[in-house]
Structure 1
Amino acid sequence: MNTLFDPDFVDVEKEVDYWLVLTSQAAPDQMDFHKYTEPVIRAACDIYIRHPHATGQQWMRELDGVLRRPCSDNGVQFNRMVAAKCWLHLQGNV
């Protein structure tokens, strides 16, 4: 089954593009996206694929381990916010 909600099939590039378009409407500086947001989206997709039935807390712990250094000056909270929105989207809740 190749749908957006199937953890066995997540098109990471499509997910990155989705968030690029969405964030570029609010903040058109794509360099910031590629530097700060894209690594979090990629990590969130990887975590979702590897642990599709985990809880949000388990995903967050995994994210914190994967992204030891925050991807932005906003730090861990930024990473968590972006990843949480990505997971909601992957589950079809956004």
Structure 2
Amino acid sequence: MQAVTDPRLADVQDELDYWRQQHRRGQLGYHPFEGVPEGTVRAVCEAYNAHPQLSEQDAIREVRQSLCLTPGSMHAHLADWLAPRCLRHLRSP
């Protein structure tokens, strides 16, 4: 019996690789990737896999909760900026 895979599921490692490349190109600012950006990508992938129809606002909320970010902090602003972009990338063909 073969396992059936859902093509809509996010591959966390593929997403991390994509966003690491974006980070190297300077698209994510000067924060170390292993901090908030990596956590944001992981949290968005987990939320997307649980609820593929999740909205951008829901993705932001999930990331904030997952990473315990203080509202208004620099880390929260970075995550709020990255979460919807990550979600859009997951949904792109």
What TM-score comes out, normalization by structure 1 length?
Answer: 0.74
**Runs (5+) with no aligned partner, structure 2:** none
Match of 2:18 in 1: 18
Letter in 1 for 2:63: L
Secondary structure of the residue aligned to 1:16 is helix
After TM superposition, the structure 1 = structure 2 runs for residues 52-71 of structure 1, keeping only pairs within 5 Å, are 52-69=52-69
Residues matched between the structures, number: 86
Contact 2:10 2:49 in 1 (8 A): yes
Question: Alpha carbon RMSD of aligned pairs, Å?
Answer: 2.6
Please report the TM-score for the alignment, with normalisation by the length of structure 2: 0.75
Structure of greater Rg:
2
Give the structure 2 partner of residue 82 of structure 1: 82
Runs of 4+ in 1 over 3 A off after TM superposition: none
Gaps of 5+ in 1: none
- The answer to whether the 8 Å contact 2:36/2:78 transfers is no
Residue 43 of structure 1 aligns with which residue?
A: 43
